[in-house]
Amino acid sequence: MHTVWIFCGSKASFPSGVFGQKEAAASWIAKHKLSGVLTEYPVGTGAFDWAVANQFFTPKKPEHNAAKFIQSFTSARQAHEHYEAGELVA
C-alpha cells in the first residue's frame, strides 16, 4: 500500500507538510525546528476505513459510524513520531 507522511504542528488546525518519505519529513522538521506529530497515512482511503479493513478497529457503538467520529478518527496502529523543536522525542 502506498503511504504518505503528514506533519501536523502543535496546536495547528491543518497539516503543514505532506511527504513521500519519512526521512524527507524529518529533515524538513529539523531544518525549521518544528514541534508536532508526523503520522503515516494510507493513500486512497481514510484512516477509519483503513483501520476497519485491517481489523485494527471494530465499530461497536452507533456513534462509531457517525460523521463526527469518522472525521476525527486516528489509529494508534498508524506509524507516528513526536517532535519538539525539530528533535525526535523518544
Full-model pTM: 0.90
DSSP structural state of residue 85: T
Report which of 86, 78, 89 is spatially closest to residue 6, judged by C-alpha positions.
78
pLDDT in tens, 24-83: 999 999 999 999 999 999 999 999 999 999 999 999 999 999 999 999 999 999 999 999
Beta-sheet pairing, 87-89 with 3-9: unpaired
